[in-house]
Chain A
Amino acid sequence: MKTFKGGFHVPDNKALTADKAIEQMPSVTDYYVSLSQHIGKPAELAVQVGDTVKEGQLLAKASSFVSANIHSPVCGEIIGVEKRRNAQGSMADYVHIKANGKQDVELMPKLTDATREQIVERVALAGIVGMGGAGFPTAVKLQPKDPVDTLIINAAECEPYLNCDNRLMIERTQEFIQGVRLIAKAINVTNIYIGIEANKMEAYDALVKLDGIIGEKDEKHDGDIVVVLLKKKYPQGAEKTLIKACVNRDVPVGGLPAAVGCIVNNVATAYATYDAVVNGVPLYKRLMTVSGKGVRNPKNIELRIGTPLSAVVDFCGGLSDDTVKLVSGGPMMGFSLAGLDVCTTKTDSGFLALTDKEASTVLPTPCINCGKCASVCPMRLMPMYIDFYATVGDYDKAVSIGGAMNCFECGTCAYVCPAKRPIVQSVRLTKTKMKEKK
Chain B
Amino acid sequence: MSNYVYSSSPHVKSPNTTRRIMIDVCIALLPACIAGCVLLGLAEARLGWLSFMVLALACLSAVAAEFIFLLCCKKKFAEIIKQFDFSSLVTGLLVGMNMYATSKWYAVILASVFAIIIVKMLFGGTGKNIVNPAIAGRIFAFIAFGAAFGGAMGFEKKVFGIKAGFVQTGATPLQAFFNADKTNTLSNLDLLIGTGVPGCIGEICKIALIAGGIYLVVRGVLNFRWPLVYILTTGVVAVLIVWIESCMKDGKFIAALMGTKFVPALKSFLPSILSGGLILGAIFMATDYVTTPNTKLGNYIYFVLLGILTAVLRRAVKGEAVSFAILLMNLLVPLFDLYIRRKPFGYVKPAKTKKVKEAKNNG
Contacts and interface: CB of A to CB of B under 8 A. Distances in A.
A292 B356 CA distance: 54
Contacts of A335: 9
Contact of B126 (A324, A359, A368, A371): A368
A409 B83 CA distance: 28
Contact of A253 (B9, B17, B127, B348): B348
B156 interface: no
Contacts of B76: none
Interface string A360-399: 1110011111110010001111101000000000000000
Nearest to A419: B18
B363 interface: no
B160 interface: no
Contact of B13 (A333, A352, A362, A380): A362
Contacts of B9: 331-336, 409, 411, 414, 424
Contact of A359 (B11, B14, B294, B348): B11
Given A252-B346, A253-B344, A378-B345, A336 B12 contact: no
A178 interface: no
A339 interface: yes
Contacts of A424: 8-10
Contacts of B6: 336-338
Contacts of B171: none
A368 B289 contact: yes
Interface string A234-257: 000000100010000011110100
B17 A366 contact: no
A332 B10 contact: yes
Contacts, number: 150
Given A354-B11, A415-B10, A415-B12, A325 B346 contact: no
A56 B16 CA distance: 49
Contact of B127 (A250, A251, A334, A369): A369
Contact of A380 (B21, B127, B345, B348): B345
Given A253-B347, A253-B348, A415-B13, A365 B8 contact: no
A336 B11 contact: yes
A359 B348 CA distance: 38
A331 B11 contact: yes
B136 to A, nearest CB: 17
Contacts of A323: 4
Given A366-B128, A370-B289, A424-B9, A418 B344 contact: no
Nearest to A370: B289
A358 B126 contact: no
Interface string A249-274: 01111010000000000000000000
| Chain A interface extent, by class | 35 or more
A88 B344 CA distance: 28
Contact of B290 (A327, A333, A369): A369
Contacts of A5: 345
A323 B4 CA distance: 8
B125 A366 contact: yes
A160 interface: yes
Given A323-B4, A425-B8, A420 B290 contact: no
B295 interface: yes
Contact of A160 (B12, B83, B289, B343): B12
B289 A369 contact: yes
A411 B345 contact: no
A248 to B, nearest CB: 13
Contact of B12 (A244, A255, A338, A358): A358
A379 B345 CA distance: 5
B362 interface: no
Interface string A331-352: 1111111110000000000001
A79 interface: no
Given A324-B4, A337-B4, A380-B344, A331 B127 contact: no
B5 interface: yes
A414 B290 contact: no
Contacts of A326: 4
A312 to B, nearest CB: 16
B342 interface: yes
A54 B294 CA distance: 60
A419 B127 contact: yes
A368 B11 contact: no
Give the most central of A334, A409, A414, A424: most B CB within 10 Å.
Answer: A414
A352 B83 CA distance: 30
A237 to B, nearest CB: 14
A339 B2 contact: yes
Nearest to A373: B294
B44 interface: no
A333 B4 contact: no
Give the most central of A5, A339, A358, A365: most B CB within 10 Å.
Answer: A365
Interface string B1-34: 0101111111111101110110000000000000
B85 interface: yes
Nearest to A407: B344
A422 B11 CA distance: 11
Interface of B: 2, 4-14, 16-18, 20-21, 83, 85, 87, 124-128, 289-290, 292, 294-295, 341-348
6 contacts: A253-B347, A370-B289, A415-B10, A415-B14, A419-B17, A422-B7
Q: Which 8 A-B pairs have the closest CB atoms?
A: A360-B13, A411-B10, A338-B2, A425-B8, A370-B289, A368-B127, A331-B12, A366-B127
Given A240-B346, A252-B348, A253-B346, 13 more contacts: A252-B346, A253-B348, A327-B11, A331-B12, A338-B4, A339-B2, A359-B5, A360-B12, A369-B289, A369-B292, A380-B342, A424-B10, A428-B8
